[in-house]
Structure formats: C-alpha cells, structure tokens
Chain A
Amino acid sequence: MFFVLILFRRTISGDALHSLRRSLSDPDNVLQSWDPTLVNPCTWFHVTCNQDNQVTRVDLGNSRLSGHLVPELGELKQLQYLELYKNQISGNIPEELGKLTNLISLDLYSNNLTGSIPESLGNLKSLIFLRLNNNKLTGQIPRALTNIKSLKVMDLSSNDFCGTIPVSGPFEHFPMKSFEGNPRLDGPELLGSVAYDSGCN
C-alpha cells in the first residue's frame, strides 16, 4: 500500500483533468496553467478544490474549446460543478458522468454534443442544475432523471430529442420552455394505467 502511495504521487484527479486537456483543442490557451507535474491540480486556473485538495469545480465555460469530453471525468468523485458551457465541444456525453454522485450542477449547454443523454445521469442524486440546451442531442429523455428529487433547474431546449416528456418527480415543475426547440419531441407523457410513450422511430 505504501508502495502504491509512492507510485501515484500524481493524483487521480490531476490525471483525469489531464486526459480532458489532451482531448480538447484550446486556441486561447486557457489551459496553460494545467501543469501535470504539479502534485495536485488545485493551483490550476479554472479548477477549484476543497480543503482536502479534492477537485470540486471545473469552470471552463465560454472558452472557445473544441474536441471531446472524456470518460475520466467520472473519476472526480468530489466534483460538484462541471461548467463546460458555450464552447464547441462535440461527441457524446460520457456515461461515466453518472458516477459523479456529488454533482450539483452539470452545464454543457451551447456546444455541439451529439448522442443521447446517458441513463446513468439518473444516478446524480445531488443534482440541482442540469442544462444541456442548444446542442444536437437526440434520443429519449431518460426516465431515470425523474428520480433526482433535488433537480430544480433543467433546460433541454434546442436539441433533437424525441419521444415524450416525463411528468413525474421534479418534472412536475419544469416549464414547457425547458423543452422547446425539439421538433421531434411529442408532448408530455400521458399517465394513466398504461404509460404512453411513443418512443423514437
């Protein structure tokens, strides 16, 4: 165990963020301070840590970044705020983000993300803010999201979702404008003895 501690003098969170850096294209050099040889990433700009040197925030909104997200983001176990909005990031939302059980805010809005919302995001039991609007996401809105009782702010507008809109749990309170701009999205799910879900063709 002592041996392993010596070996991993770099931290898991530093490695995870370094994987993100390698996967992104950064024309404005906002990641210039992301030095992988430092003991932990807590002195990097746009990264915030708690008192135990665990990463709690990544703030890279509006930074002209392109490239992809990486599954290693799921290793940031104390992450609370993941702010990657208003960039040109493409590719899928990695399902590994579902491991971030301390996540309070997931802001991926205004990018070029494709694919569907991973079901695993239903595991984000602390999530309050979920904003995925203005992307090219498809597929159904996962019903697993209705289990997140803390969800207060959700915006899925301006994407290409299909199927019906959930109506239970936190979805009871979301205004319709959270879902507008999805031409293939049918209306709210009609609940009765059989849940009506047209699915996606």
Chain B
Amino acid sequence: MQQRYIYLAYGCVIVSHVFAYVLGSVFISPCRKDFSVCNHTLCTLLSIKDSMQDPTGALATWNVSTHFCTWDGVLCSNTSQQQQVKGLLLDSRQLKGALSPEIGNLLTLSYLNISNNIFHGSIPRELGKLASSLTHLDLSHNAFNDSVPASLANCTLLTFLDLNTNFLSGSFPEFITNFTQLSYLDLSSNSITGNTPRDIGLLSASLQFFQLYNTQLTGSIPRSLMNCSKLVWLDVSNSLLSEALPSDWTRLSSTLEELNLDNSGFSGNVPETLGNCTMLTVLHLHNNSLTGEIPSSLGELRSLQDLKLYYNHLSGPVPSSLTNCTHLVYFELSGNNLTGGIPEEIGRLSLVEWLTFSMNPLLEGSIPHSIDGCTQLRQLSLYQTNLEGVLPSSLFNLSKLERLSLEDCAFSGRLPELVGNLSSLSIKLDVSHNNFEGPIPAGLGKLSNLQGLYLQGNNFEGHLPHQLSELRSIIEMDVSCSLISGTIPTSFSRLASLSKLYIRNTQIAGPIPDIFADLQNLQVLDLSRNMLVGSIPQSLATLYNLELILDLSSNRLTGSIPSSFGNMVRLQEMHLSGNMFTGRIPSAFGGCVGMQILDLSHNRLEGDVPDALGEMISLEHLDMSHNRLSGSLPSSIGDLPKLISLNVSYNMLEGVIPENGVYRTLSASAFVGNPRLSMDSPLSRSRSSDERIHWKTRIISVLLAAIVTLYCLRYYMKRKEASALDLPLWRRVFMRRKKAK
C-alpha cells in the first residue's frame, strides 16, 4: 500500500513538473534570447521581428501579451484547434533589415508577402524548407541582393512568385520550370543575366503572367513559351533580348491580352500570327529593330486599345485593315520607313487619342477628310513626313486636340481662320517648314491655352495680326517667314508668359516697340535680319532678366549701345552686328559675367575697346570687327579664361598687340585691316607661316638690292671707260677684263 502511494506521489511530481514545464514554456518565460533552440511558432515570429527594424511601429502588436494570431499581418488557419500561421502580409510598412532564416520554421506558411519594404541581404535559403506549404511568395520592391537561392527549387507548390524590383543577380533560376502550378511569375527590374529559360513551356498548363522586363537577360524569347496556351500577360521589355520574335503565336490566341516587347533589340518581322490573338488590348513593340511590313492581320485585333510600333525599321504601307481596330486609343507608328498614305477611313477610329505617324519620310498623300471622325483626338503628330496638300477643313472640328505637329512636311494652301476652333490646343501648334501661304489668320488669337506657336519657314505674307497678343498662355512663338511685313505689334506687350520670341528674316520694318516692361519671363529675343530702324527702346535696355539670347543683328538700328546692357548679368549671347550703332562700347559690359558670345561687328562704333571687357569671365567669342574703334587693345582681354576667338579686324586700332594669354594663339586675320596696328613685335613676326615667307622675302630683296647696286656701280664705272673707248655701253658693262693676259 505504501509503495503504491509512493509511486502515486512520484507520478504526481513528474506529472506536475511536466505540467509546470508546459505551462511555464507557454506562459511564464516563453522564450529565452537563444532563439535557435526554441522552434515554437511564437519564438519564430518574435525572432523574425527581431531581425527587422520597424521605424513606424507596424509590428507594435507583435508581443507576448496577445496571441500571435491576433497580431497585425499574421493570418492563421481557423480550422484546426491548434492555431497555425498560414500567411504573413507585411507589405508597405517601411520595415528594414534582413528576412530572418527563422522564416523556414513556419512550416505551415502558405502565403508570404513582404513587398514594398526595405529588406536587404540575400533571400534566406531556409525558404526552401517551406516546400510543402508555400504557394504565394512576394518579395517585390525591396533591396534583396545576391542570387535566387537554389533551395527555392523545393517549393514546387508555388502558384505566385514575385521578386520584381530588387538587386538580385545571377542567372535565371531554371528550376522555376519545375513549378508546374506556377501561374504568376515576375522577376523584373533585377540584374539577372544570361539566357531566358528554354523550357518555360513546361509550365504550359498553368502560366498566365510572365514578366521579365528591365533585366539584363540576353538571347531570344524561348520558343517553348508559345506552348503556354493560358498566357494572359507577357512582358520582356527593356532587356537585352534580341533576335527574331517567335513566328507562331496561334496557341496563345485565346488568352493573350497584353504583350510588351518594347525597348529591346528584337529584329525580324512582326509575326503575322499575332493577328490571331484577338483578346489583345496592348501590343507594345516600339523601340526595337523590327523590319518588314506591318501585317494586315493586325486588323483582326478588335479589342486592341494600345498599338505602339514606333522607332523600328518597318516598311511598306499602313494597312487599311487597322481602321477596323475601333477601340484603339493609342496608335503610334512614328520613326519607321512606312510608305503610302494615311488610310482614308482613319475617321473610323472614334476613340483614338494619340495618333502619331511622324518621322516616316516616305509617307505621302494628304490628311484624309474623315479625320474629324477621330473625335477624341488629343495629339496628332505627322511631322517629318512627305505629307502634302491643303489641310481639310474637317481637321478643325477636332475640339479636343491639344497638340498638332505638322512641321517639316509639304503641306500647302492657307491656314484658315477655322484654326481658332481648336480650342483645346495647349501644348503646341507647329506648322513650320511647309509651303503654307496667305495671311497669318487672326483666328489664332482665340487659342488662349496655346503655349507654343511655330509658323516659321512658310510663305505666309501680310502683317502680323495684333490678335496674336491674345495668346495669353504663349511661352514660345516663332513667326519667321520671309514675306511677312508691317511692324511688330505694340500689343505684344501683353504676352506676359512669353519666354522665347523669334521674328527673324522677314520684311518687318519700323522701330522696335517699347513693350518689354511686362515681358519679364523673356529669355530669347531674336529679331535678326529684318528692316528694323531706330534705337534700342528703354524697356529693352533695362530688361535685366533677359537670360539667354538677345539678337538684333542685321537690321538698320541706330543710336548707341545702352550702358544699362551691363546689367544683363546672366545674358549668355548678345548679337548686335550688321547695324548702324554709333558711340562707344560701354565699359559696363564688364558686368556681364554670364555672357559667352558678344558680337558687335559691322557697326559704326568708335572709341576705345574698354579695359573692362576683361571682366567678362564667361566670354568665349568676341567680335568687334568692321567698326571704327581706336586706341590700343587692352591686355585684360588676353587673360579671359574661356576666350576662344577674338576678331578686331577692320578698325582703326593702333599700338602694339598684347602678347598675353589668348593673344598668343590668334592668327593675323584677327587683326587685319588696322593700318596703324603694329605687327612688328616679335610675336607678330612669328604669328604664322606668312611671317617666315616674309622673312625670306626680306633676305631675298636685300640681296637683290645689293646685286642691283653693284651692277649700277659697274655701269657707272664702265660708262666712264666707255666714253674713253667708244664702245657701246652695254658691251662695256658685260666685258670681261681681259687686260691682264
């Protein structure tokens, strides 16, 4: 009996110890710091937390006071009694640090998403231990480096694998082709190198999303990918992939919706079988080296919204079948060698917003009348083509058009007043370098949102309409057409946002109007090659904010150069050449420390070249030739640190050319035409090979002079003898002395 009680007592003690141990390990002191020994879920999670930094307190709930299934971001399975961690959802929480190897101890983990944090270091190979549970792995948008661990090959149950935007290196992990349930794969924006996975076709039963953009993968698109008949989304853009595209896309025809193969080095033709992929909404083949014609089968892609084929070497016509793709929003074919014209039925594309055929130099014909069917059109780019003819009036019904680029084509006829109906034109209207004629329409003034107006290089004639001053948003305007006449409208003073104004090479006459007080944003004022008269108006003389270019060259301007120009501290270029400016060069120019080019040539300037020009520390080119400058050249100019060229030819300079700095490098042509400028300094003598010839001619001429003098002396002496001997003079001169025989 006692023995039984003893056994009972021992049993109780043992049981109570075990009970206490169990209770204690769960509640009292759950984890010692030495986590490697403890493999309990709680310890594992706390260990994972411990290897991270959590600046925003996203893991504040991760402490022992509550059950881990209630912690933020922890998902437990709610079926079994014993709570198991099924998923961790910790994206976008600004977590930093390493992903602890302890993650491999969460053996029931099926879903792991730590995307968009700042995890770094390598992906722990312990993830391979989760082979029997892990189905969804998202480590995207972090800073993981090193290669994808080989142990991950064990996780063959993965359906979703996203590692994009990290710093992963190494080659493509081929073991992925064993993940026969993989539906979503994204390894984009990493430094993965080597070839694409040849056997990706093994995933044909499951693969729907395949993304490898922005990597350094080389080679071609694996042919076996064409077997993946469930593929919805394929993106291998921005890579070093090259070679021809696979030719047979038929097996992908019932599922493929988005195809991004742009910005790589693909060559060969656009596959005709792409026309079978009638679910396609996005087809991006731009910025490659594709050749051949655009297959007309693409006209079968009735769901297509985004077609970008720009910057390739495609030839042949624009298939008219493409006008069947009535859902197109982006239709971009620019930068190719396309021939023929714009399809006549282009107006069927009633949803298109961006239409670009520019930079196809052989594209010809005129803009079809149906263009106003494209009611949603926001951008129309046809520049640098051979398109021609008169603009159809229907073009001006496009009330949503924001940018119209027709420059460098062969368009002709007038620009109608109807242009004012394009009320949404905001970015630019560019018709430059065509054959437009007739007046500049006053209707342009209605375009109150227009920022850029380019009319230059046409045969527009008549006056500049004052309505142009109603362009209150205008930033850049170029009306440089050689037949334009009249004067610069004074109402241009209202163009307060004007930054660059070009009125060049026209018949415009009259004075420069005094309108610049309110044009405080002006950076470029180019009024060169006109017939402007009078002097520089006060508001221009004090336009101190002028930052870039002032060009008034080749006009008939008079008066003196205002010394207030010296306050244009940041002006980069000033061209005043080819006028009739008089007076002195202001020494105030020394204040123009930003000026790189100063051209005062071909005027009537007089007085000295100011010493202060030596303070123009940014000056690279200085031309004061063909004036009436006098005095001597200041040596300060020679020390200008950036001066490349100096021209003071054809003036009335005198004195000696300085020999410092830049002066040493200049040839004689910089100084020619200054009769009183001394070329005698040792430096002048050695200035160029002309000087050596000069030296030689001096010697020769001295010798010749000596010979001639000697013969003259003999002649004189012979003459005295000849008069004694009665021989012709010339015989005496050449007579040898035979006397002493």
Contacts and interface: CB of A to CB of B under 8 A. Distances in A.
Interface of A: 3, 6-7, 9-10, 32-33, 37, 39, 45-46, 48, 57, 59, 81, 104-105, 128-129, 150, 152-153
Given A48-B548, A59-B523, A104-B594, A33 B265 contact: no
A37 B310 contact: yes
B235 interface: no
30 contacts: A3-B242, A3-B265, A6-B265, A6-B288, A6-B289, A7-B264, A7-B265, A7-B287, A9-B287, A10-B263, A10-B287, A32-B427, A32-B451, A33-B452, A37-B310, A39-B335, A45-B451, A45-B452, A46-B499, A48-B523, A57-B548, A59-B499, A59-B523, A59-B547, A104-B618, A128-B593, A128-B617, A129-B570, A152-B617, A153-B569
Given A10-B287, A45-B475, A105-B570, A128 B618 contact: yes
B476 interface: yes
B311 interface: yes
Given A6-B265, A59-B523, A81-B547, 4 more contacts: A33-B452, A48-B523, A150-B617, A152-B617
A37 B263 CA distance: 11
A151 to B, nearest CB: 10
A150 B476 CA distance: 32
B145 to A, nearest CB: 19
A199 to B, nearest CB: 28
Given A7-B264, A45-B451, A33 B428 contact: yes
Contacts of B428: 33
B400 to A, nearest CB: 15
A28 B594 CA distance: 30
Nearest to B642: A126
Nearest to A83: B547
A152 B570 CA distance: 12
Nearest to B242: A3
Contacts of B451: 32-33, 45
Nearest to B548: A48
Contacts of A37: 310, 332
Interface of B: 240, 242, 263-265, 287-289, 310-311, 332, 335, 426-428, 451-452, 475-476, 499, 523, 547-548, 569-570, 593-594, 617-618, 641
A128 B426 contact: no
B452 to A, nearest CB: 7
A10 B265 CA distance: 14
Nearest to A105: B570
B674 to A, nearest CB: 31
A37 B405 CA distance: 14
A105 B265 contact: no
A81 B571 CA distance: 11
Nearest to B426: A32
A45 B310 contact: no
Nearest to A6: B289
| Interface residue SS majority, chain A | loop
A66 to B, nearest CB: 21
A69 to B, nearest CB: 21
| Interface residue SS majority, chain B | loop
Nearest to A152: B593
Contacts of A10: 263, 287
A10 B286 CA distance: 11
Contacts of A7: 240, 263-265, 287
A57 B594 CA distance: 13
B429 to A, nearest CB: 13
Contacts of A46: 499
A60 B551 CA distance: 24
A4 B240 CA distance: 9
Contacts of B547: 59, 81
Contacts of B310: 37
Contacts of B570: 81, 105, 129
B383 to A, nearest CB: 10
B211 to A, nearest CB: 19
B582 to A, nearest CB: 31
Contacts of B240: 7
Identify the 10 closest CB pairs spanning chains A and B, nearest first.
Answer: A33-B427, A9-B311, A45-B475, A152-B593, A9-B287, A6-B289, A128-B593, A3-B265, A32-B427, A7-B265
A162 B617 CA distance: 32
B294 to A, nearest CB: 19
Nearest to A56: B572
A179 to B, nearest CB: 21
Contacts of B427: 32-33
B476 A45 contact: yes
B711 to A, nearest CB: 62
Contacts of B335: 39
A46 B524 CA distance: 12
Nearest to B332: A37
A150 B617 CA distance: 8
Contacts of B476: 45
A128 B332 CA distance: 44
Nearest to B240: A7
A153 B288 CA distance: 47
A32 B242 CA distance: 34
Contacts of A48: 523, 548
Contacts of B594: 104-105, 128-129
A81 B545 CA distance: 14
A46 B548 CA distance: 12
Contacts of B332: 37
Nearest to B264: A7
B233 to A, nearest CB: 22
A68 B332 CA distance: 32
A10 B310 CA distance: 12
A153 B594 CA distance: 11
A9 B310 CA distance: 11
Contacts of A153: 569
A6 B291 CA distance: 14
A7 B264 CA distance: 6
A84 to B, nearest CB: 14
Nearest to A107: B570
A133 B451 CA distance: 31
A80 B264 CA distance: 32
Contacts of B288: 6
A72 to B, nearest CB: 16
A105 B545 CA distance: 14
A81 B547 CA distance: 10
Contacts of A105: 570, 594
B588 to A, nearest CB: 16
Nearest to B310: A37
Nearest to A45: B475
A37 B242 CA distance: 21
Contacts of B264: 7
